[in-house]
């Protein structure tokens, strides 16, 4: 998907039955169920998913297949850094994994929020043992203009009261939208620079 396509398609059907949409409170229970079944995710109280669906629906997306929620990404724009989207959780039902769905959820969320909120950077935190999540965000960075990605310590084990693993901060961006022609010129310039060593 090109940047210009993405910015105009906040709600997209990637096949006849899959829809990626901003959630309503009726979707919160299924988000909670997916988080619970993932086992790897911290399970927030069901109340937290309800609050996110009510108050942060603009920065959250669910994937719905045949009327059932099969994946979600939830986040918020950081109050202290209004150009930064913090992605709190992304999860896909086990039976729908490996089909690019998490990537599509991130693409739809980012393109929508970049358009509505002038966001240019995505933040998330990942534990060292979550290779799937690391690859998901590295893949997102590559897809979006090969955006720079930095990894830094954020929440150490000692910050957590419950033996939680350390969470490192992944920052991807800045990612700016250009029209396709300009994007092609930028890519050509990048390739020329690379060939010059």
Ligand X SMILES: CC(C)(COP(=O)(O)OP(=O)(O)OC[C@H]1O[C@@H](n2cnc3c(N)ncnc32)[C@H](O)[C@@H]1OP(=O)(O)O)[C@@H](O)C(=O)NCCC(=O)NCCS
- Residues forming contacts to ligand X in the complex (CB under 6 A) are 38, 40-41, 89-92, 97-103, 130-133, 135-136, 139
Instruction: Give whichever of 103 and 112 is closer to ligand X, judged by the CB atom.
Output: 103
Pairing of strands 18-21, 60-65: antiparallel
User: Minimal distance in Å, beta carbon 4 to ligand X?
Assistant: 21
In the complex with ligand X, the residue whose CB is nearer, 41 or 50, is: 41
Q: How far is the CB of 41 from ligand X (least distance, A)?
A: 5
Report, in angstroms and rounded to the nearest whole number, the Rg of the chain calculated over CA atoms.
17
> Residue 15 — left, alpha, or beta (φ > 0 → left; ψ -120 to 50 → alpha)?
beta
Q: How far apart are CA 129 and CA 35, in angstroms?
A: 18
Could you tell me which of 46, 101, 47, 98 has the C-alpha nearest to residue 70?
101
Q: Which is nearer to ligand X, 4 or 38 (CB)?
A: 38
**What are 48's two structure tokens?**
């937290």
Closer residue to ligand X (CB): 72 or 77? 72
Indicate the residue among 119 and 136 with the shorter CB distance to ligand X: 136
Residues recorded for the chain: 197
The answer to whether residues 59 and 78 touch, using CB atoms and an 8 Å cutoff, is no
Smallest distance from ligand X to CB 67, Å: 19
Element (H or E) spanning 6, and its range?
A: helix 3-8
Looking at the Cβ atoms of 53 and 136, the one nearer to ligand X is 136
Residue 101, classed as helix, strand or coil, is helix
CB of residue 43 to ligand X, shortest distance in Å = 11
**Is the Cα dihedral 30, 76, 113, 173 positive or negative?**
negative
Closest separation in Å from C-beta 19 to ligand X: 16
Least spacing, CB of residue 7 vs ligand X, in Å: 20
């Amino acid at each position: 998907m090109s940047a210009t396509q993405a910015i105009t398609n906040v709600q997209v059907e990637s096949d006849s039955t899959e829809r990626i949409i901003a959630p309503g409170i009726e979707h919160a229970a299924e988000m909670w169920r997916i988080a619970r079944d993932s086992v790897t995710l911290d399970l927030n109280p069901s109340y937290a998913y309800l609050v996110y669906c009510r108050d942060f629906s603009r920065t959250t997306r669910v994937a719905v297949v045949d009327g059932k929620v099969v994946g979600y990404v939830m986040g918020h724009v950081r109050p202290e850094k209004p150009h930064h989207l913090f992605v709190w959780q992304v999860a896909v039902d086990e039976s729908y994994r490996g089909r690019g769905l998490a990537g599509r959820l991130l693409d739809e969320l980012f393109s929508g929020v970049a358009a509505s909120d002038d966001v240019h950077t995505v933040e998330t935190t990942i534990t060292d043992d979550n290779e799937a999540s690391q690859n998901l965000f590295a893949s997102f960075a590559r897809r979006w203009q090969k955006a720079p990605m930095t990894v830094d310590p954020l929440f150490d084990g000692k910050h957590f009261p419950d033996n939680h693993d350390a969470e490192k901060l992944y920052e991807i961006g800045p990612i700016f939208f250009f029209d396709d022609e300009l994007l092609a010129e930028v890519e050509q310039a990048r390739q020329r620079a690379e060939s010059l060593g």
